[in-house]
Structure 1
Amino acid sequence: MTKASDRTDATGGADLDQALDLSQALRALRRRADLSQRELAERAGVPQPTLARIESGRALDPRFRTVERLVRAAGGQMGIGVPSAASATIAPASATITPTPVPHDDMRDQAGRRYPAHLDVWPVHELRDWPGAWWAEWYRLPPERYPLPLPPAAYEVNRRYRDNRRWGAEVRRTTRVSRVTGGDLPDTCWRFVAELPDGELRAHERSPRLEYGEWYPGIPEREMVLDGVLVAGQYRRLGLGRRLVTALVTEMRAAGVDDAAAIAEGFGIELLLACGFEIEARRPAALRIGRPGRQSYG
Structure 2
Amino acid sequence: MTEATEHTDESSGVDLGSALRALRRRADLSQRQLAERSGVPQPTLARIESGRAGNPRLRTVERLVRAAGGQLTIGIPAPTSGTATLTLTPVPHDDMRDQGGRRYPAHLDVWPVHEPRDWPGAWWAEWYRLPPERYPLPLPPAAYELNRRYRDNRRWAAEAQRTAQVRRVIGSDLPATCWRYVAELPDGALVGELRAHERSPFLEFGEWHPGLPEREMVLDGVLVDARYRRLGLARRLVTALLTDMREAGIVDAVAIAEGFGTELLLACGFEIEARRPFALRLQETGKRGS
On the 8 A contact 1:231/1:241 being kept in 2, the answer is yes
User: What pairs with 1:63-74 in structure 2 (closer than 5 Å)?
Assistant: 63-74=57-68
Gaps of 5+ in 2: 1-7, 78-83
TM value normalised by structure 1? 0.75
Q: Which has the higher contact order (CA 8 A, sep 6+)?
A: 2
1: CA distance, partners of 2:128 / 2:173: 44
Pick aligned residue for 1:21 from 6, 11, 15? 15
Q: Does 1:247 align with 2:240?
A: yes
CA gap of 1:233–1:66, structure 2 versus 1, over 3 A, is same
On the 8 A contact 2:117/2:123 being kept in 1, the answer is no
Identity score, percent: 78
SS of aligned partner of 2:40: coil
CA gap of 1:207–1:82, structure 2 versus 1, over 3 A, is closer
2: CA distance, partners of 1:276 / 1:241: 14
Q: Does 1:37 align with 2:31?
A: yes
1:215-268 deviation per Cα after TM superposition (whole angstroms, max 9, x unaligned): 355443321111111111111111111111111001110111111111111111
On the 8 A contact 2:38/2:67 being kept in 1, the answer is yes
Q: Does 1:174 align with 2:168?
A: no
1:57-88 deviation per Cα after TM superposition (whole angstroms, max 9, x unaligned): 222244444333222211234455688xxxxx
* Residues paired across the two proteins, number: 268
User: What pairs with 1:87-102 in structure 2 (closer than 5 Å)?
Assistant: 98-102=87-91
2: CA distance, partners of 1:219 / 1:142: 47
Gaps of 5+ in 1: 1-13, 84-94, 294-298
Match of 2:81 in 1: none
1: CA distance, partners of 2:201 / 2:51: 70
On the 8 A contact 1:194/1:244 being kept in 2, the answer is yes
RMSD of the alignment, in Å?
Answer: 3.6
SS of aligned partner of 2:220: strand
Alpha-carbon offset, residue 191 of structure 1:
0.7
Q: Does 1:155 align with 2:174?
A: no
Match of 2:231 in 1: 238
Match of 1:191 in 2: 180
One-letter amino acid of the structure 2 residue matched with residue 163 of structure 1: D
CA gap of 1:143–1:263, structure 2 versus 1, over 3 A, is farther
Pick aligned residue for 2:93 from 78, 88, 104? 104
On the 8 A contact 2:182/2:192 being kept in 1, the answer is yes
1: CA distance, partners of 2:261 / 2:115: 21
On the 8 A contact 1:192/1:202 being kept in 2, the answer is yes
2: CA distance, partners of 1:194 / 1:74: 35
1: CA distance, partners of 2:256 / 2:135: 33
2: CA distance, partners of 1:217 / 1:127: 50
Match of 1:92 in 2: none
Match of 1:214 in 2: 207
On the 8 A contact 2:235/2:264 being kept in 1, the answer is yes
1: CA distance, partners of 2:211 / 2:136: 46
Match of 1:118 in 2: 107
One-letter amino acid of the structure 1 residue matched with residue 28 of structure 2: D
Alpha-carbon offset, residue 153 of structure 1:
3.2
SS of aligned partner of 2:15: helix
Match of 2:217 in 1: 224
